[in-house]
């Protein structure tokens, strides 16, 4: 015995012919027998089967109970459907074996098995999954619902409507002509996006169905409960065109209004002598009604056809709204209402295959420091600002442009190169944006791609623009950068090297060498700089100038830098054990490493774990790095100094540090860049940048070391200028730890002699 089932609450829009039974009658389940409605549930989730049968268990239409057929995969459903007949409704899960197993199955049902009558209701568990309009259209899918949407009552009404639709289709099966026309009409309708288009499509299709010239109007009745009974015109045809975008009232178009009211009140089609009004049951508080003039009264077949048509269209009207909504969510940015990345890629693809391609340019527009503005002034302010930027991009570049928002603070402009160019776009940021009476000055960085030169898809073009943008950002004050093919090659090469470097690091192909630093007066070693080396398995050395930027770019520098730090510290401890007590170890620190939130912790731990005395460890940071974000740097340096290590500014003289700024930084040493050492012998009077750096160091009380000293004359001039320390091939090349040990015990002493 099946368990007793309590009656369900009657749904609001319940239909007369629904009967709710206390108990499921023990109807013999004879396959193919016509005394049941057969409903097939296809879903890989067993729970869905049981909840569905439970929800529908006591549904009984015209004394015919439901009978369920279960399939738990698309494959199983295919097998069953080959033999099962007379299935009225299929409840079909979209996502099963594959993401679109359900849609494939629909194709199989309609095209291979040629089952045109069965009504199909698609269900999906994923709210983000946008149904393909094409699929719904092409395969005559009755309804589309997310599983969470299908409450017990909704499921009930949905299946009821589908069964009725199936029954009607079966009933008028002999009128194949009409049926085909309906299917065709629904198909045509589904191809139309937007409720407005759909509504006018409905009018066209009705007049086609009836084979008449169309004079008609389709209205929607909003909130029928509050007595206002306004009929908004959604579409018109023929002599009613003048009613477009109006509201019908019972004065001016009384006969139409009255006929429509009657139809809405009775919730059914009304066939008059020279007009018909059709009723489309919409969702909850929205019904649709069409009024058409007819030259002759419709035949009985016409009436039946129209009823089926209306039932189909009602679902369609609701679905179109749903699909339009999902479509918008999938392709448009909700904040700015601009196309999003997905939509932009589509537009790009279209542009690339169209005539505008040759003259078109794509530009990414990245707002500089937007995150800080957002943090400082609040997210709501930030949102308003983004909308303002969107507006300015849209209105002030003029002409036929596509403006999209593809990321938090990244916009994209696509259009003719005469409009989409750095001068025009950057000019838009010359004036501040006024938000809530507050002026905000923004700047932007651009990455551009000329589509005429582009080979590949829209998505590729966007990637190229992104590469150009990164380049523009890495070159300070560049403002913009055009993508060129060589950059693509370069990037691929970089990616290749990135993988190779990661592998090399993992397989211990990297090692540290040490280049001695000496006291120019005594020529005795005072320390060494740790330098990273990469030797590939075929024996080739790759310069750190090439691989360090890649390690930085890929983030590998964090691990790599830590490893160098620990290796150099360990070497320092070993040297001290070997008797070299007053020996300083200089370690290069990259900007990326330095900015990492755990840098300080990493440094402390490296010192602690290796036992390296901090007062003999020096960190080299570059001058360009010292110039960025002064406040952050000052704070960081103060904390680093507390660990006891000292700080040198590498490549000094290549940047533009101001004196006052240098004074605020707690640094210990300036390292004169090799370029100025090389130049020293060439300059007429020895009045050189190197000389100025040496004086600067003296004035600020900082130690100075010259690097890249290659010949004796350079060493002598430097010494004469008052530079106490030096490093270079003249004294020693970078060498392995073992070589350094030997060098310190023998050669250094010889050199000093």
The residues of the shown chain that bind ligand C2E, judged by CB under 6 A, are 515, 531-532, 543-545, 548, 561, 564, 588-590, 620, 650-651, 674, 707-710, 727-729, 734
d(C-alpha 300, C-alpha 547), whole Å: 82
Minimum distance between the CB of residue 544 and ligand C2E, rounded to whole angstroms?
3
Sort strands 59-61 and 18-20 into parallel, antiparallel or unpaired.
Answer: antiparallel
What is the helix, strand, coil percentage profile of the chain, to 5?
45, 20, 30
Minimum distance between the CB of residue 44 and ligand C2E, rounded to whole angstroms?
53
Q: Are 279 and 264 in contact (CB under 8 A)?
A: yes
Q: Which does 596 bind (CB under 5 to 8 A by kind): Ca ion, ligand C2E, none?
A: none
Would you say 167 or 651 has its CB closer to Ca ion? 651
365: β partners: 411, 446
DSSP-based three-state secondary structure for 296:
coil
| Ramachandran angles phi, psi of 335, nearest 5° | -70, -55
The pair of structure tokens assigned to 191 is: 């191809």
The pair of structure tokens assigned to 149 is: 């949407």
Q: Are 221 and 263 in contact (CB under 8 A)?
A: no
Q: Which does 543 bind (CB under 5 to 8 A by kind): Ca ion, ligand C2E, none?
A: ligand C2E
Q: Tokens 């989730």 belong to which residue?
A: 45
Q: Which does 545 bind (CB under 5 to 8 A by kind): ligand C2E, Ca ion, none?
A: ligand C2E
Q: Which does 390 bind (CB under 5 to 8 A by kind): Ca ion, ligand C2E, none?
A: none
Would you say 165 or 588 has its CB closer to Ca ion? 588
Q: Which does 544 bind (CB under 5 to 8 A by kind): ligand C2E, Ca ion, none?
A: ligand C2E
Would you say 307 or 620 has its CB closer to Ca ion? 620
Would you say 96 or 548 has its CB closer to ligand C2E? 548
| Contact pick of 650, 709, 714, 737 for Ca ion (by CB under 5 A) | 650
d(C-alpha 61, C-alpha 79), whole Å: 28
Per-residue string for binding with Ca ion, 595-634, x by CB under 5 A?
-------------------------x--------------
Minimum distance between the CB of residue 722 and ligand C2E, rounded to whole angstroms?
20
Minimum distance between the CB of residue 620 and Ca ion, rounded to whole angstroms?
4
Q: Which does 458 bind (CB under 5 to 8 A by kind): ligand C2E, Ca ion, none?
A: none
Would you say 42 or 617 has its CB closer to ligand C2E? 617
Q: Which does 734 bind (CB under 5 to 8 A by kind): ligand C2E, Ca ion, none?
A: ligand C2E
Would you say 293 or 620 has its CB closer to Ca ion? 620
Q: Which span (298-306, 415-423, 500-508, 647-655) binds Ca ion, by CB under 5 A?
A: 647-655
Q: Are 468 and 448 in contact (CB under 8 A)?
A: yes
Closest alpha carbon to 562 in 514, 501, 605: 605
Minimum distance between the CB of residue 552 and Ca ion, rounded to whole angstroms?
15
Q: Which does 158 bind (CB under 5 to 8 A by kind): ligand C2E, Ca ion, none?
A: none
| Contact pick of 140, 261, 464, 651 for Ca ion (by CB under 5 A) | 651
| Contact pick of 215, 588, 593, 657 for Ca ion (by CB under 5 A) | 588
Cα three-residue angle 149-154-157, rounded to 5 degrees:
150
Minimum distance between the CB of residue 636 and ligand C2E, rounded to whole angstroms?
16
d(C-alpha 495, C-alpha 545), whole Å: 16
Would you say 150 or 565 has its CB closer to ligand C2E? 565
Q: Tokens 């009604």 belong to which residue?
A: 289
Q: Tokens 């790009």 belong to which residue?
A: 348
Minimum distance between the CB of residue 651 and Ca ion, rounded to whole angstroms?
4
Would you say 14 or 574 has its CB closer to ligand C2E? 574
Would you say 466 or 620 has its CB closer to Ca ion? 620
DSSP element (H, E) containing 639: helix 630-642
Minimum distance between the CB of residue 422 and ligand C2E, rounded to whole angstroms?
32
Q: Answer positive or negative: Cα dihedral of 617, 623, 624, 626.
A: positive
d(C-alpha 667, C-alpha 662), whole Å: 8
Minimum distance between the CB of residue 563 and ligand C2E, rounded to whole angstroms?
9
Would you say 293 or 529 has its CB closer to ligand C2E? 529
How buried is residue 485: exposed, middle or buried, by Cβ count under 10 Å (0-12/13-18/19+)? Answer: exposed
Q: Which does 160 bind (CB under 5 to 8 A by kind): ligand C2E, Ca ion, none?
A: none
Q: Are 220 and 321 in contact (CB under 8 A)?
A: no
d(C-alpha 354, C-alpha 111), whole Å: 34
d(C-alpha 745, C-alpha 580), whole Å: 9
Would you say 338 or 702 has its CB closer to ligand C2E? 702
Q: Which does 124 bind (CB under 5 to 8 A by kind): ligand C2E, Ca ion, none?
A: none
Minimum distance between the CB of residue 750 and ligand C2E, rounded to whole angstroms?
19
d(C-alpha 410, C-alpha 392), whole Å: 14
Q: Which does 590 bind (CB under 5 to 8 A by kind): Ca ion, ligand C2E, none?
A: ligand C2E
Q: Are 487 and 471 in contact (CB under 8 A)?
A: yes
Q: Which span (5-13, 99-107, 455-463, 649-657) binds Ca ion, by CB under 5 A?
A: 649-657
d(C-alpha 510, C-alpha 532), whole Å: 7
Minimum distance between the CB of residue 638 and Ca ion, rounded to whole angstroms?
22
619: β partners: 587, 647
DSSP-based three-state secondary structure for 670:
strand
Minimum distance between the CB of residue 673 and ligand C2E, rounded to whole angstroms?
7
289: β partners: 219, 279
Minimum distance between the CB of residue 561 and ligand C2E, rounded to whole angstroms?
6
**H helix runs in 332-421, sequence order:** 341-352, 370-377, 379-396
Q: Which does 726 bind (CB under 5 to 8 A by kind): ligand C2E, Ca ion, none?
A: none
> Torsion angle of alpha carbons 718, 724, 729, 735, nearest 10°?
-170
Closest alpha carbon to 623 in 554, 528, 689, 531: 689
Q: Which does 564 bind (CB under 5 to 8 A by kind): Ca ion, ligand C2E, none?
A: ligand C2E
Residue ranges with strand state E in 496-553: 510-519, 525-535, 541-542
Minimum distance between the CB of residue 716 and ligand C2E, rounded to whole angstroms?
15
Q: Which does 548 bind (CB under 5 to 8 A by kind): ligand C2E, Ca ion, none?
A: ligand C2E
The residues that touch Ca ion, with contacts defined as CB under 5 A, are 588, 620, 650-651
């Amino acid at each position: 015995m099946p368990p007793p089932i309590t009656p369900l609450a009657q749904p609001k829009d319940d239909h007369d012919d629904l009967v709710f039974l206390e108990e499921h009658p023990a109807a013999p389940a004879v396959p193919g027998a016509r005394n049941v409605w057969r409903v097939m549930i296809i879903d890989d989730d067993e729970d869905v089967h049981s909840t569905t049968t439970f929800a529908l268990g006591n549904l009984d239409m015209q004394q015919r109970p439901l009978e369920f057929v279960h399939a738990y995969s698309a494959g199983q459903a295919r097998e069953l459907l080959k033999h099962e007949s007379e299935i009225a409704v299929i409840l079909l899960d979209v996502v099963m074996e594959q993401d679109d197993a359900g849609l494939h199955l629909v194709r199989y049902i309609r095209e291979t098995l040629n089952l045109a009558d069965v009504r199909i209701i698609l269900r999906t568990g994923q709210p983000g999954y946008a149904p393909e309009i094409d699929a719904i259209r092409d395969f005559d899918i009755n309804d589309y619902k997310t599983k969470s949407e299908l409450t017990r009552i909704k499921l009930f009404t949905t299946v009821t409507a589908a069964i009725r639709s199936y029954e009607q289709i079966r009933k008028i099966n002999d009128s194949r002509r009409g049926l085909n026309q309906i299917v065709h009409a629904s198909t045509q309708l589904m191809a139309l996006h937007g409720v407005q288009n759909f509504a006018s499509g409905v009018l066209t299709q009705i007049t086609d169905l009836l084979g008449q010239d169309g004079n008609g109007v389709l209205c929607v009745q909003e909130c029928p409960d509050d007595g206002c009974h306004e009929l908004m015109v959604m579409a018109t045809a023929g002599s009613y065109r003048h009613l477009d975008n109006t509201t019908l009232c019972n004065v001016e178009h009384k006969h139409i209004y009255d006929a429509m009211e009657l139809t809405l009140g009775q919730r059914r089609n009304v066939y008059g002598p020279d007009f018909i009004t059709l009723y489309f049951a919409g969702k909850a508080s929205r019904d649709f009604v069409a009024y058409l003039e007819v030259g002759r009264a419709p035949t009985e077949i016409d009436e039946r056809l129209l009823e089926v048509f209306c039932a189909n269209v009602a679902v369609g009207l609701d679905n179109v709204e749903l699909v339009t909504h999902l479509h918008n969510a999938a392709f448009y940015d909700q904040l700015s209402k601009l196309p999003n990345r997905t939509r932009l890629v589509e537009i790009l693809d279209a542009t690339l295959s169209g005539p505008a391609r040759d003259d078109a340019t794509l530009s990414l527009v990245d707002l500089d420091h937007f995150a800080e503005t957002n943090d400082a002034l609040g997210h709501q302010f930030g949102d308003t600002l983004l909308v303002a930027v969107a507006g300015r991009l849209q209105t002030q570049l003029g002409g036929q442009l596509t403006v999209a928002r593809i990321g938090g603070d990244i916009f994209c402009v696509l259009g003719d190169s005469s409009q989409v160019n750095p001068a025009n776009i950057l000019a838009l940021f010359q004036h501040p944006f006024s938000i809530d009476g507050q002026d905000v000055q923004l700047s932007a960085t651009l990455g551009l791609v000329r589509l005429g030169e582009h080979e590949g898809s829209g998505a590729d073009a966007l990637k190229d623009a992104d590469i150009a943008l990164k380049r523009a950002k890495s070159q300070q004050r560049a403002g913009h950068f055009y993508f060129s093919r060589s950059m693509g090659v370069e990037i691929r090469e970089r990616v290749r090297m990135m993988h190779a470097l990661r592998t090399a690091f993992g397989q211990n192909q990297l090692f540290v060498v040490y280049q001695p630093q000496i006291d120019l007066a005594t020529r005795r070693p005072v320390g060494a700089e740790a330098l990273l080396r990469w030797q590939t398995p075929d024996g080739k050395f790759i310069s750190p100038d090439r691989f360090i930027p890649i390690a930085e770019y890929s983030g590998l520098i964090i691990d790599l830098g830590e490893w160098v730090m620990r290796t150099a510290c360990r070497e320092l401890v070993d040297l001290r054990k070997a008797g070299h007590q007053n020996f300083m170890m200089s370690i290069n620190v990259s900007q990326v490493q330095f900015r990492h939130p755990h840098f300080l912790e990493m440094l402390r731990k490296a010192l602690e774990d290796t036992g390296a005395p901090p007062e003999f460890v020096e960190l080299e940071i570059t001058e360009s790095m010292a110039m960025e974000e002064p406040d952050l740097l000052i704070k960081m340096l103060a904390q680093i100094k507390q660990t006891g290590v000292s700080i040198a500014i590498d490549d000094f003289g290549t940047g533009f540090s101001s004196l006052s700024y240098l004074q605020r930084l707690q640094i210990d040493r300036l390292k004169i860049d090799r370029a100025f050492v090389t130049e020293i012998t060439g300059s007429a009077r020895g009045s050189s940048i190197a000389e100025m750096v040496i004086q600067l160091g003296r004035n600020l009380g900082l130690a100075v070391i010259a690097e890249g000293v290659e010949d004796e004359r350079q060493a002598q001039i430097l010494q004469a200028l008052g530079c106490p320390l030096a490093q270079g091939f003249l004294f020693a090349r970078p060498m392995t730890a073992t070589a350094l040990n030997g060098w310190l015990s023998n050669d250094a002493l010889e050199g000093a002699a």
